[in-house]
């Protein structure tokens, strides 16, 4: 076999990687976070304070430095981070870790790391967790406007929160949608729900929910209209609309929705 043929075969050879590539993504608010990283395993080794020394920059994984990409502006440790891709680096310690988000996404290891490229760095305290064989980055505590990013390996876990202040962007999206598209009962209903859920202009929510129901009555937009009436202090009207919504939801065999409406009716009757 020629050297050229041997080289071609070697290039085509696929074998298991010791630190396989992984990716996780999470939507929250009007933003999304995606982490792309390589996942080394313990393999019987002592990790923190040994394989990964304390007090030194760590690529936070293996191979290329871990990439943290945001779609939408987010806030980390009270600092605004613009949409884009960043390297996620850390400095592990026995009692504190430094979390670093850096502009350079082409780092392999930390040899070319420059602190002047940091977007933010802050301290977090590690906690003791059940043993994790493979380095793992995941999302937890997912809420309307935030998510927690967790880094776990060996028996150490560090976490930090990422928030997305979505209300202003949501209001802008609603304004643009209503101005530029044929307004449907779904659009008006969604707009009203957003304003009610986020304690915004309840009179505008009432106006939109009325427009939705005027196009066609459904159990879901009747419930939104009932909520809007209640938010404007019109509880008698809210109960009447809620009762109609509840009946229609039961007829549609949507038991869960009917239960939600029934609970709201009971609250409105107390007002």
Position 181 scores a pLDDT of 78
Position 180 scores a pLDDT of 87
In whole numbers, what is the pLDDT of the chain averaged over residues? 93
Cα atoms in the Cβ-side hemisphere of radius 13 Å centred on 22: 16
Position 9 scores a pLDDT of 47
Asked if residue 188 lies in contact with residue 214, where contact means CB atoms within 8 angstroms, the answer is: no
Q: Is the pLDDT of residue 24 over 50?
A: yes
Q: Is the pLDDT of residue 261 over 80?
A: yes
Write the DSSP assignment of 209-228 as a string of letters: HHHHHHH---HHHHHHHHHH
For residue 230, name the pLDDT band (cuts at 50, 70, 90).
very high
**208 vs 108, which has greater pLDDT?**
208
- 109, 235, 252 from 248: Cα distances, Å: 60, 20, 6
pLDDT in tens, 177-187: 999 877 799 99
Alpha-carbon span 193 to 204, nearest angstrom: 11
Q: Is the pLDDT of residue 112 over 60?
A: yes
pLDDT in tens, 186-201: 999 999 999 999 999 9
Task: Using alpha carbons, select from 19, 87, 91, 17 the residue that is nearest to residue 48.
Answer: 91
Alpha-carbon span 89 to 68, nearest angstrom: 10
User: The pTM is what?
Assistant: 0.81
Q: Judge: domain 167-269, CATH 1.25.40.10.
A: yes
**Sign of the torsion formed by the C-alpha atoms of 5, 6, 11 and 15:** positive
- For the chain, residues classed under CATH 1.25.40.10 are 167-269
Q: Is the pLDDT of residue 267 over 90?
A: yes
For residue 11, name the pLDDT band (cuts at 50, 70, 90).
low
Q: Is the pLDDT of residue 229 over 90?
A: yes
pLDDT in tens, 117-143: 999 999 999 999 999 999 999 999 999
């Amino acid at each position: 076999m020629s050297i050229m043929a041997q080289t071609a075969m070697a290039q085509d050879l696929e074998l298991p990687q010791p630190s396989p590539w992984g990716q996780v993504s999470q939507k929250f608010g009007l933003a999304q976070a995606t982490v792309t990283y390589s996942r080394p395993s313990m393999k019987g080794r002592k990790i923190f304070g040994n394989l990964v020394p304390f007090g030194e920059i760590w690529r936070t994984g293996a191979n290329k430095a871990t990439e943290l990409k945001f779609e939408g502006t987010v806030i980390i440790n009270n600092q605004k981070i613009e949409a884009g891709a960043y390297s996620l680096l850390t400095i592990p310690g026995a009692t504190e870790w430094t979390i670093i988000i850096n502009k350079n996404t082409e780092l392999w290891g930390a040899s070319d790391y420059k602190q002047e490229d940091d977007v933010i760095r802050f301290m977090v305290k590690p906690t003791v967790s059940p043993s994790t064989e493979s380095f793992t980055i995941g999302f937890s505590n997912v809420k309307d406007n935030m998510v927690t990013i967790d880094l776990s390996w060996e028996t150490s876990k560090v976490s930090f929160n990422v928030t997305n202040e979505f209300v202003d962007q949501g209001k802008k999206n609603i304004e643009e949608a209503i101005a530029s598209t044929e307004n449907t009962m779904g659009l008006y209903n969604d707009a009203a729900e957003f304003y009610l859920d986020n304690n915004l202009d309840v009179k505008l929510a009432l106006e939109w929910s009325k427009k939705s129901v005027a196009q066609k009555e459904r159990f879901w937009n009747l419930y939104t209209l009932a909520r809007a009436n209640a938010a404007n202090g019109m509880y008698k009207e809210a109960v009447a609309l809620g009762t109609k919504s509840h009946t229609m939801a039961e007829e549609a065999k949507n038991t869960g929705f009917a239960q939600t409406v029934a609970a709201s009716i009971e609250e409105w009757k107390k007002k």
